[in-house]
Structure 1
Amino acid sequence: MNVRLVRSQSQIAYGEFSLASQHPYRRTPWTNAKAPDLATFEALASETFAQLPNEVLMQCGHVQISLAEYADDDVLNALGIEDPSELLGLFEGSGLAQDGGSNFTGKLPNRIWLFRRPILDYWASGEETLGDIVAHVLIHEIGHHFGLSDEDMERIEEAADVQML
């Protein structure tokens, strides 16, 4: 590939270079692409959650989905995690197996945390789509709410994949 550098008179004076505007990369949409912010991530998580199988949604009840850039230090320390990019999601609360489905006063709500930056790092290092990764983390954390096995979570993911097609 030939790259043609173009110098304008002012650039020559200041020693600056610019790539010619005729180059294809300047016309492609990805040149302005940015990582999704928390609001976009929230929309993706909500859309993914809404597309889960109905029997899963009905059991979720009052589970809240929250987003943050990273898990806070207290959570990381409690889990023995040194690198905050290692934690993509977290279920916080009492699972259904521990009576986590009841809603009584004085009890914090069950919550699923999705951590944007670690998820984006994982996405950038692999071949999966961002939507697939968010769905996997979301289903995995919902699985903790239900007290499900890894095999049960895989079945939910497969059912969700079918519904999303």
Structure 2
Amino acid sequence: MNAWSGRQAPSLEDFEEMALAALEGLPAPFRDLAREVTCVVADFAEDEVLEEMQMDSPFELMGLFVGIGMAHDGAAPVTGQMPNQVFLYRRPILDYWAENEDTLSDVITHVLIHEIGHHFGFSDDDMEAIEADAETEH
């Protein structure tokens, strides 16, 4: 019997646990600053989001930061403002993972860092350095 025949892709709940573990595994300064950002896991982005971002396929979007980043409003939340959120899209992440050499945990961590980085206004180089630190802490 094939070793993969009885296996299933992680459920949304399993994926959320993996995302929270990845969030907790981020380097301390980055993780502490990101405490106010909530993480939401869904199979795909909503149709309105995909249309707004001009995506041809729901598999093109693995994650999304929604909110007002610290670079735009400072660290203090505005009364009545929705909390900043990072969305992780399970199916596109699983699709990417299936076609690449990275572990699923590494892909989730990469997407988290990239999306939370938008909250801070970080450059791609900044996010790559944070990712490298996260890999050494695992």
- The answer to whether the aligner puts 1:160 opposite 2:122 as a matched pair is no
Which stretches in structure 1 are left out of the alignment for 5+ residues?
A: 1-24
State how far apart, in whole Å, the 1-side matches of 2:60 and 2:113 are: 17
What corresponds to 1:109 in structure 2?
83
What corresponds to 2:10 in structure 1?
36
State how far apart, in whole Å, the 1-side matches of 2:36 and 2:88 are: 17
Task: Please report how far the alpha carbon of residue 60 of structure 1 lies from its aligned counterpart in structure 2 after TM superposition.
Answer: 1.0
State how far apart, in whole Å, the 2-side matches of 1:108 and 1:100 are: 15
Q: How many residues align?
A: 138
User: What is the percent sequence identity of the aligned residues?
Assistant: 46
State how far apart, in whole Å, the 2-side matches of 1:85 and 1:123 are: 12
The higher radius of gyration belongs to: 1
What corresponds to 1:128 in structure 2?
102
State the 4+ residue runs in structure 1 displaced beyond 6 angstroms: none
**Residues 136 and 81 (structure 1 numbering): CA distance in 2 closer, same or farther, change over 3 Å?**
same
Letter in 1 for 2:10: P
What corresponds to 1:90 in structure 2?
64
Task: Please report how far the alpha carbon of residue 55 of structure 1 lies from its aligned counterpart in structure 2 after TM superposition.
Answer: 0.3
State how far apart, in whole Å, the 2-side matches of 1:157 and 1:57 are: 12
State how far apart, in whole Å, the 2-side matches of 1:100 and 1:64 are: 17
Asked if the contact 1:61–1:101 (Cα under 8 Å) also holds between the matched residues in 2, the reply is: no
| TM-score (norm: length of structure 2) | 0.95
| TM-score (norm: length of structure 1) | 0.80
What corresponds to 2:119 in structure 1?
145
State how far apart, in whole Å, the 2-side matches of 1:129 and 1:67 are: 18
Which stretches in structure 2 are left out of the alignment for 5+ residues?
A: none
CA deviation profile, 1:17-69 (whole Å, cap 9, x unmatched) = xxxxxxxx35x3x3211000000000000001001011001111310000110
